[in-house]
Structure 1
Amino acid sequence: MIARPDIKAWSPPVQGITEVFHARFTDHVYPMHTHDSWTLLIVDEGMVKYDLDRHEHGALAELVTLLPPHVPHNGCAVTPQGFRKRVLYLDSTQLSEDLVGLAVDSPVLDDHALRHQIHLLHSSLILPGEELEAESRLALVSERLQDHMQKQVHSRSPLHDPGIARRLRDLLDEHYVDGITLQQASNVLHAHPAHLVRAFSAEFGIGPHKYLTGRRVDLARRLLLDGLPPRAVATAAGFYDQSHLTRHFKRILGTTPGHYARTGSGARTGPVRESAEVGV
């Protein structure tokens, strides 16, 4: 009996990624085929073997695999237990096609930091409302992949560019409710997305996404204390929905928006009693 594969696929609202594909296969064997985009693969369980340009390769759990567009390849599990994988299909805005030959020569990348960054990118793509985080991680992943393809892999030191970092902060401050994509910021500031992310993080000790989210949480706090219900606050503060607000509100403040609002309404009904219960 052939096991039914466990598959999830979607097109994320993030420029540069044409498709996200998560799957677990046991019996499926990929025939020779091609893609018109770059295939960025990480394996979470098992092992995949495949042929690329008449050479056999293996995709292991600790490695990163990058397959170039328009080059035929196949794939199958190495063991009867099958494999579980996560794939990102990247367009030419992330990796140009003049790198295809280099990718054919070296499709397997032994880079634990890069693999972890790809894992975090997948995690951000699962959650709605985290597009700026996904864009930021994608910029760094693409930069690292290009370094590998060009045989210029090195540890990038913190990027000192306070001018561009502060201009990006000003732009985020202007758009923290309505939102701005990293590509839009890149177009306005005439700087590469990865440059923006690394410069901002070096200057302020926090990524653009977390900075923008913090601004939104601050606004949400004020709106909650003004009596606006959490669902309305989520929309007014720029969050995707109430669960998106709750997730970040609790991460930053350690409590839910509803509980936070109730403490404010309780304070308006009368003075807080001075007792051991309130920590005086």
Structure 2
Amino acid sequence: MTGNRPRTQISAWRPSVAGIAEVFHAEFADHAYPIHTHDTWDLMILDDGSVDFAVDRRRHGAAGAGTVILLPPGVPHDGKTVNPSGFSKRVLYLDTRVLPERLTGAAVDRPVHGDGLLHHRIHQLHGALAHPGDQFEAESRLALVRERLLFHLNASQVRTPGREAGRIAAALRELLDSRIHAGVSLNEAAAILHAHPTHLIRCFKQSYGLPPHTYLTGRRIDRARRLLLAGQRPADVATAVGFYDQAHLNRHFTRHLSVTPARYAALRNRGASPEPTASSADRPESAVGSR
């Protein structure tokens, strides 16, 4: 009989990222939300299945991976599964620091967005939020999500970096280099450099070919390599270079070098490469290929 029970899987947490009140992931086979409201914006991506919902007494439907749904604060809404296969979703509850309440009307008029770029950016944001210590990346990805949402709500236009891009990018790189261990939030960097957060990101990427959070991680990995080869323990290295913990260091280090910090540290005990053996170094020149 257990196998006949409705399939429900839920996870939820509150990340350390300003503007995000909660992250909520759910998979429902059969569920109906009663009509209710939130004091936050409800930003949902549908990963699978179909949903039927009403916003301000107007019904809407959404189906298939890639769909984005935005529900404003204070507006009554409900939601339910459409078929036996149910649906799975990932939700970000955003406060009014991310989107102002004055945009409620525009969101009510068009709650469903079939925007592949927006969906991809939200997916990337969820990935960053899943790992403690990746706040700078999450802040950067949230800024780009916010920009895209404002575009859909007819509240902003994307600003393309101009002649100032190199100067702003160099100033941000200098700031990141001075904060490798302590780190810096995106909003703090924007305030110090007197630039909009998303403009900072675009200027940096245009000038250096990678986003600022990726640059900072790479600098931390470089420092970690030196400390590991100097004999420090991975757990000590993680905190010394600014990672959240050893697991955080392990994940990024392995992505960069395909080995764990512990295995990399073990290389120091091997010493220099041995001298070539006579069978290779003393081989007659004609046998080596002196054509």
TM above 0.5, one fold?
yes
Quick check: 3-12 or 214-223, which moved more? 3-12
> Looking at CA atoms only, which structure, 1 or 2, has the larger radius of gyration?
2
Q: Counterpart of 1:201? A: 205
User: Which 4+ stretches in 1 moved above 3 angstroms?
Assistant: 151-154, 156-160
Shift of 1:157: 5.0
CA distance in 1, matches of 2:86, 2:246: 38
CA distance in 2, matches of 1:255, 1:274: 26
Tell whether the 8 Å contact from 1:39 to 1:66 is kept in structure 2 after alignment.
Answer: yes
Structure 1 counterpart of 2:193, one-letter code: L
CA distance in 2, matches of 1:126, 1:189: 29
Q: Residue 36 in 1 paired to residue 49 in 2?
A: no
Structure 2 counterpart of 1:26, one-letter code: A
Please give the secondary structure, in 2, of the residue aligned with 1:27: coil
Shift of 1:116: 0.7
Shift of 1:27: 2.1
C-alpha spacing 1:4/1:181, structure 2 compared with 1 (3 Å): same
Please give the secondary structure, in 2, of the residue aligned with 1:116: helix
Identify which of 243, 248, 259 aligns with 2:263: 259
CA distance in 1, matches of 2:113, 2:23: 20
CA distance in 1, matches of 2:83, 2:277: 65
Q: Counterpart of 1:59? A: 62
CA distance in 2, matches of 1:34, 1:79: 25
CA distance in 2, matches of 1:252, 1:106: 42
Tell whether the 8 Å contact from 2:7 to 2:27 is kept in structure 1 after alignment.
Answer: no
Q: Counterpart of 1:220? A: 224
Please give the secondary structure, in 2, of the residue aligned with 1:80: coil
* Deviation per residue, 1:221-247 (Å, 9 max, x gap): 110111101111111111111121121
Q: What TM-score do the two structures reach when normalised by structure 2? A: 0.89
Structure 2 counterpart of 1:256, one-letter code: T
Shift of 1:273: 3.5
Q: Counterpart of 1:272? A: 274
CA distance in 1, matches of 2:215, 2:25: 30
Q: Counterpart of 1:11? A: 14
Structure 1 counterpart of 2:274, one-letter code: V
Shift of 1:180: 1.0
CA distance in 2, matches of 1:230, 1:102: 50
Quick check: 58-67 or 42-51, which moved more? 58-67
Q: What TM-score do the two structures reach when normalised by structure 1? A: 0.92
Identify which of 85, 89, 102 aligns with 2:106: 102
Shift of 1:250: 1.8
CA distance in 1, matches of 2:66, 2:251: 30
Identify which of 140, 162, 177 aligns with 1:173: 177
Q: Counterpart of 2:167? A: 163
Tell whether the 8 Å contact from 1:42 to 1:87 is kept in structure 2 after alignment.
Answer: yes
Please give the secondary structure, in 2, of the residue aligned with 1:127: coil
Q: Counterpart of 1:45? A: 48
Q: What percent identity do the matched residue pairs reach?
A: 53
Let me know the Cα RMSD of the aligned residues: 1.9
Structure 1 counterpart of 2:113, one-letter code: L
Tell whether the 8 Å contact from 1:2 to 1:27 is kept in structure 2 after alignment.
Answer: no
Shift of 1:5: 2.2
Q: Counterpart of 2:214? A: 210
Q: Which consecutive residues of structure 1, in runs of 5 or more, have no partner in the other structure?
A: none
Quick check: 189-198 or 66-75, which moved more? 189-198
Tell whether the 8 Å contact from 2:19 to 2:95 is kept in structure 1 after alignment.
Answer: yes
Please give the secondary structure, in 1, of the residue aligned with 2:180: coil
Please give the secondary structure, in 2, of the residue aligned with 1:224: helix
CA distance in 2, matches of 1:182, 1:23: 29
CA distance in 1, matches of 2:168, 2:118: 25
CA distance in 2, matches of 1:265, 1:139: 45
